[in-house]
Amino acid sequence: MTFPALFAFALLSSAYAFGPANVRVLEIVNKNLNLDGFSRSTVVAGGTFPGTPITANKGERILVNVEDKLTDNTMLRSTSIHWHGIFQDGTSWADGPAFVTQCPIAANNSFLYDFTPSGQTLAYISGFAQAGTYWYHSHLSTQYIDGLRGPLIIYDPEDPHKLLYDVDNTDTIITLADWFHTPALNAPFPLFFTTNLINGKGRFTGGPASPLAVVTVTHGLRYRFRLISMSAEPNFIFSIDGHSMTVIEADGVSTQPVVVDSIQIFAGQRYSFVLKATQKISNYWIRSLPNFGNTSFTGGVNSAILRYLHAPICDPETNATASTKPLLETNLHPLVPVPVPGLPHAGGADVLINLNISLDLSAPRYFLTGASFTPPTSPALLQILSGAQLAQDLLPTGSYYALPPNKVIEVSIPGSADVAAPHPFHLHGHNFHVIRSAGSSTYNYVNPVIRDVVNTGTASANDNVTFRFVTDNAGPWFLHCHIDIHLDIGLAVVFAEDIPTTSKEVVPSAWKNLCPTYDALTPDQL
C-alpha cells in the first residue's frame, strides 16, 4: 500500500535520526509499602509504586538493565518486563512477555533491554520514531498485580500540540491502579481489588484516612496531563471537578482535540489531555470511579486532589456532577490522517480473524475460539529461531496464527457474555485502526482512532469490535486481555508474523542465556 508522494515526503522530512542513549538501571526489589493505610510486601521497580518513571526523547535509543533482586518467596522471584506500546520493530526479543519472546529473568540476574521506539506510529509506514504516553510492567504470570508497573514517556520536541499547553513533565503523569492486600499467588479466583490508587495513594472501604495524591497547578497555566491506566482489573471513569479536559492523544497517537468532562479508561490504555487551570484558587476532587467494587467517593475513596498553588491544605468541598460530555472512542480521530488499510467495506482485508471469547468457570479457563493459552516451556521466539516454520509447529497448539508479511489483517472480537466483560485487548508489536468500537454498530473506514488497547464490549450490546493492521513488523506478537488474571487463565493468542523473517532475527547472547538459567531454577526460586 502506498501514500501520495507529497504525503510521504512530508512524513519523511519530519522523521528523527536515532541518537545515543545511556544505560539506565531498573532494580526490581521487594519492599514493604503502605500506600493506603495497609502495609504489605510488594514487587516494585526502584523501590516505589508506581515504579521509577522512564523518560526519553523522540528517536532516542533506550537501554534498560533490569536487575532482579527479588527475595520474597510469597511472590514470584523471577521477572520479565514489557514496554507497553513500543513496537519493537526488529527487536521482538526485547518485547518482554515471558514464554512468548523470552524466558524470565531469574533472581540475582540481570538482562539488558535495548530498543529504539520506531515503527508504525503513523500506521503502516515504517521507520518513524514513536512519541507519546506508554508504560512498562511485569509480563510474567500475574506479577504486575503485586506492584511492578511504571510510566514510560517519550517526549516529542516538535509535538504538533505543543502550543496548547505550558507544562508537560513527570509531575503531570497521572497513574490509575487497582491495589490488592493479598499477594497474587495466594489470591483466590475471582480476584477482587481492595483499593483504587491514584499516583500510588488511596483509601479503602473501612480503612484509615490515608494521605491522598495531590496534583498541584498554578493558576493561569495550561497542563498536559498523561493519564495511564495501570489497572489489572477494573476500568475507570476519570474526571476532575469543575474542569473540562481536552484529549490530544490516545495510546501514543496524537488525536484531533476533543473537549470532554469524563474519560472512561481501560486497563493498559493511555490518554493525554490539556487542563486549563483557570478556576478559583482552591481544591478540587480528582475522581476515578471503578466499574465494580466500591463505586462511591465516600471518605475520599477513588479520589485524589487537584490543588491550586496557594490554596489551603485541606480536602476539597467540591461536588460531583453528572457527565454531559463523556469521551466516546468514536469521536477520536488521528491528528495526521492515516488511511485505513484494506478496502472500505466489511471483510475488505487480506486475512480475516474472528475471535470468540468463552469462559469455563469450573476450570477456570478462558478460551479464544476454542483455544486457551498456556505458556509453553520454550518461548515462541525461541521455537521459531530453532526451526519452527508453521503455526501448527508452535506450542501450545491452537494458540498461534501464522500471518504472512505485508498483508492487511482484520480482527473481529464479538462482545463477551461472561460476567467479567468487557475485556480490554492489547496487541503487541503494532497499533491498529479501530474500525468498529464497542457501543457502536458503525464501521469507520475513513478516520477511526489508532491505538493499541481496545475495549471489546459486551454481548448484551451486540458489540463486534473490529480492527485492522498491516503485517510490517516480523515477530511473535501477543494479543491478549489486559485484565491480568484473565490473561493468566488463557485469554490470549499469538500472531506469529512473517515467520521466515523472524527466524533470522539477531538476538543478543544474554537473551540466549535466559532459558538455561531459568530452567535450572528450583520451584522455590521461580
Residue whose entry in the numeric block shows the C-alpha cell 504525503: 7
Q: Assess if residue 475 is contained within a domain.
A: yes
Its pTM stands at 0.95
Report angle CA 54, 95, 520 to the nearest 5 degrees. 105
Contact yes or no for 452/433 (Cβ under 8 A): no
Q: Assess if residue 302 is contained within a domain.
A: no
**String of DSSP letters for 141-162:** TTGGGGT-EEEEEEE-TT-TTG
DSSP state of 66: E
Q: Assess if residue 405 is contained within a domain.
A: yes
Q: How far apart, in whole angstroms, are the C-alpha atoms of residue 518 and residue 526?
A: 8
Give the chain's residues under pLDDT 50: 1-19, 120-127
Q: How far apart, in whole angstroms, are the C-alpha atoms of residue 60 and residue 58?
A: 6
Residue 29: per-residue pLDDT: 99
Of 41, 49, 45, give the one whose Cα is nearest residue 197.
Answer: 49
Residue 489: per-residue pLDDT: 96
Q: Assess if residue 382 is contained within a domain.
A: yes
Residue whose entry in the numeric block shows the C-alpha cell 498461534: 400
Beta-carbon neighbour count of residue 135 at 10 Å? 25
DSSP state of 178: E
**Cell digits for 308?**
491550586
Q: Assess if residue 20 is contained within a domain.
A: no
Q: Assess if residue 407 is contained within a domain.
A: yes
Cβ contacts of 436-440, under 8 Å, gap ≥ 24: 436/412, 436/464, 436/465, 436/466, 437/329, 437/330, 437/465, 438/329, 438/463, 438/465, 439/328, 439/329, 439/330, 439/463, 440/329, 440/330
Of 428, 359, 379, give the one whose Cα is nearest residue 100.
Answer: 379
Of 515, 523, 522, 524, give the one whose Cα is nearest residue 80.
Answer: 515
89 bridge partner residues: none
Q: Assess if residue 235 is contained within a domain.
A: no
Q: Which CATH number characterizes residue 472's domain?
A: 2.60.40.420
H or E segment and range at residue 288: strand 283-290
Q: Assess if residue 497 is contained within a domain.
A: yes
Report angle CA 202, 315, 217 to the nearest 5 degrees. 90
Residue 366: per-residue pLDDT: 97
Cβ contacts of 381-388, under 8 Å, gap ≥ 24: 381/92, 381/93, 381/100, 381/101, 381/102, 381/475, 381/476, 381/502, 381/505, 381/507, 382/103, 382/515, 384/476, 384/496, 384/499, 384/502, 384/503, 385/502, 385/503, 385/505, 385/507, 387/503, 388/499
Q: Give the Å distances, CA to CA, from 360 to 312, 355, 366, 367, 396.
A: 53, 16, 6, 8, 18
Which amino acid is present at 481?
Answer: C
Q: How many domains does the chain have?
A: 1
Contact yes or no for 176/231 (Cβ under 8 A): yes
Q: Is the dihedral of CA 355, 357, 362, 364 positive or negative?
A: positive
Parent domain of 423 = 351-512
Q: What length does the chain have?
A: 526
